[in-house]
Structure 1
Amino acid sequence: MRYGLTILPEFRWRDAEPRWRRAEELGFDHAWTFDHLAWRTLADGPWFGTVPTLTAAAIATQRIKLGTFVASPNFRHPVSFVRELLSLDDISRGRFVLGFGAGGIGVDATVLGNDVLPPGKRVARLGEFLELLDQLLTDDHVNYDGAFYQAVDARTLPGCVEEPRLPFVVAASGPRSMRLVAKYGQGWVTTGPRDGETNEDWWNGVKHQSDQLTDVLAEAGRDPATIDRYLALDSSGTLALSSVDHFENAVGRAEELGFTDVIVHEPRTTEPFKGDEKVLEQLTLRR
């Protein structure tokens, strides 16, 4: 099992840098930050850019992988985004992982004056984004004419440090988006179902999603062993770092379901993700 820590981009860098360094020092395998222009109940508070934050984190660390949890097409275009990704990949010396999803219906979806797309169109848009981005990261002089995106002789040199390109970890909760995992992903990430009433309902839903992915991969002729599986533990309704025992129990259940990686949030002093930082420190001592 590999462990990831999500650090929200809400701190000035003088306060954020020690947090990223600590994630590496504590032994986490990967560290993530949200990719939003504003987010839910924190929309009126301080918030910094994802790409600059991860770039600074890449310079401040040496080993830990760094990623977006997760980027979306709501306010991005593949042609401009690819330049940022190539820079992150280069500065981190191949440690960058692109977490990507279809995009939600919150502030990011409306702040630019766009209409909120229904779920089916969001998945279709995600498919185009990944298709074009895959081309941009593996080829040069790219032309593309889709329903959502176009590219005209897009230049993409020098290419990725990690060959053939940096890894995609695709967020998916149903068969349509899981087919995109099978086609483009090196990993799958899920927050589990949203319709359960209890913690046990959530775990049952996670199992169902994992089984679905296995079926989709088989249909696509993709070896399930080639896909890393990431589970966002805090989405169960109970903060994973509420105690060491709770964390270890959750990790054990995730491992039983075939997950290779788990992701938790750095404890905050207020909601969301309110928790005790002492638990975070204790994890390293017991792992």
Structure 2
Amino acid sequence: MRFGITILPEYRWSEAAPRWRGAEQLGFDHVWTYDHLTWSGLQDSPWYGTVPTLTAAALVTSRVRLGTFVTSPNFRHPLTLTRDILALDDVSDGRFVCGIGSGGGIDSTILGGPELTPRQKVDRLAEFTELLDRLLTTDRVDFDGEYFRTRNGRTLPGCVQQPRVPFVMAANGPRSLRLVTRYGAGWVTTGRKSDDHETWFASVAELSRRLDDVLAGRPFDRYLSLDSHRYALSSADAFEDAAGRAAELGFTDVITHWPRADGVYAGSEAVLEKVASEVIPRLRA
């Protein structure tokens, strides 16, 4: 199993840089940040740009993979995103991973766009992913879709990672899961909303079985966000239990969040250090 951690883009870089360096020093395999204009959980908190944050993170790390958790079509166009991806892939020397989802929350309407139905969101995600895939692998792309268009979209110089940067895609429904298996190098889920921890894990298991049905036996990387119902770093035991259950369900990767001083994901860096030094090595073994 591999282990990831998310650092929210809420800190001035003088405070953020030690966290990104620390994540690598603690032995995490991948480190993520949110890709939102604002996040519903912290609307009144400072919030910095995803691409500059990941660029700076690439310059203070050398080993960990870096990713968006997750990019969506809410405010991204595939062509402008292509330029950002090419730069991040280059600056990180091939360590960038693009997390992709259909999008929701405040980002979906903050720019004045209409509310989309769930079906429309999947339609838009399909266009977004198809066009992004083409732009990262094919030069001079013409595309005329319902949501996105390009005229002579250029790909130069191409990705460091070939044939392109890997996509780790969020999906729950049948159509979006088929997109995951067509374009994704991995699948990520937060499970379904639930007031009960056991019910939440049952939803995670059910979604994983859905993916099994689509994959028909093909191996595939699976990422679980452990903190969607209960903060996994509330204690070392809580993290070990959650990660162990994820492994039993066939997940190859788990993701938690860097402890915050208060509010959402409030916790202790001492617990994080104990998990990194004692629990993760035990789970790897």
Q: Residue by residue, what CA displacement relative to the aligned partner does 1:44-97 show, whole Å, maximum 9, x if unpaired? A: 221000000000000110000000000100001001110000000000010000
Cα offset, 1:224, TM superposition: 2.7
Over the aligned positions, Cα root-mean-square deviation in angstroms equals 0.9
Give me the TM-score of the superposition, normalised by structure 2.
0.96
Q: What percentage of residue pairs aligned between the two structures are identical?
A: 59
1:1-287 equivalence runs, <5 A:
1-104=1-104, 106-194=105-193, 196-218=194-216, 224-225=218-219, 227-235=220-228, 237-286=229-278, 287=281
Task: Name the SS of the counterpart of 2:227 in structure 1.
Answer: helix
Q: State the one-letter code of the partner of 1:146.
A: G
Q: Structure 1 CA distance, aligned partners of 2:106 and 2:208?
A: 29
Give me the TM-score of the superposition, normalised by structure 1.
0.96
Matched pairs, number: 279
Q: Residue by residue, what CA displacement relative to the aligned partner does 1:223-250 show, whole Å, maximum 9, x if unpaired? A: 531x210000001x22100111111111
Cα offset, 1:284, TM superposition: 2.0
Segments of 5+ residues of structure 2 without an aligned counterpart are: none
Q: Structure 2 CA distance, aligned partners of 1:188 and 1:275?
A: 27
Cα offset, 1:275, TM superposition: 1.0
Segments of 5+ residues of structure 1 without an aligned counterpart are: none
Runs of 4+ in 1 over 2 A off after TM superposition: none
Q: Residue by residue, what CA displacement relative to the aligned partner does 1:26-56 show, whole Å, maximum 9, x if unpaired? A: 0000000000001113112210000000000
Q: Structure 1 CA distance, aligned partners of 2:188 and 2:230?
A: 18
Q: State the one-letter code of the partner of 1:82.
A: T
Q: Structure 1 CA distance, aligned partners of 2:263 and 2:173?
A: 29
Task: Name the SS of the counterpart of 2:115 in structure 1.
Answer: coil
Q: State the one-letter code of the partner of 1:265.
A: H
Q: State the one-letter code of the partner of 2:84.
A: E
Q: Structure 2 CA distance, aligned partners of 1:116 and 1:270?
A: 32
Q: State the one-letter code of the partner of 1:167.
A: P
Q: Structure 2 CA distance, aligned partners of 1:41 and 1:23?
A: 23
